[in-house]
Amino acid sequence: MKKTIRRFGSTFSTVILLAGAAALPGTAYAKPDKPENAAQTASGTGCLVRDANGDYHFDATCEWHTTIKRDKDGNITMFNYHDKGQLPDGAPAPTSASQNYAPWPGCPDGIKEVTSPSGEYRSDCRWGK
């Protein structure tokens, strides 16, 4: 059973914190032939998807991916988050592609969310270069 979730920020915060924890300064996760400040990635499943009414549902099969790059001093210079999921059966889908920009600290332009009439959902957050 999928549960409607209205607290987007707290769950997305957990994903961001877990992704960031995987790339703590001083901990080398890069391949031996790359510098310690090489881009680091993390992937997983489970995210929130937004329906036509603005309610969020947890999709356990939703796939997410993060990329974090730091400078030689360990400061984050780039952060990207992407996910792709599907609305659960019975959740209201929009009649045409619906775009939403949700504010999020760390993403100056907010998170871009798109839900299609088929129920496909994706979101994207990009910061830095």
Going residue by residue through the chain, which has 129 residues, state the pLDDT in tens, using 9 for 90 and above.
444 444 444 444 444 444 444 444 455 555 555 556 678 999 999 999 999 999 999 999 999 999 999 988 888 889 999 999 999 999 999 999 999 998 877 787 789 999 999 999 999 998 887
Q: What is the pLDDT of residue 73?
A: 87
Q: What is the pLDDT of residue 25?
A: 46
Q: What is the pLDDT of residue 36?
A: 64
Do 127 and 107 touch, CB atoms closer than 8 A? Answer: yes
Tokens of 64: 């997410």
Q: What is the pLDDT of residue 104?
A: 77
pTM of the model as a whole: 0.69
Structural domain count of the chain: 1
| Domain encompassing residue 105 | 4-128
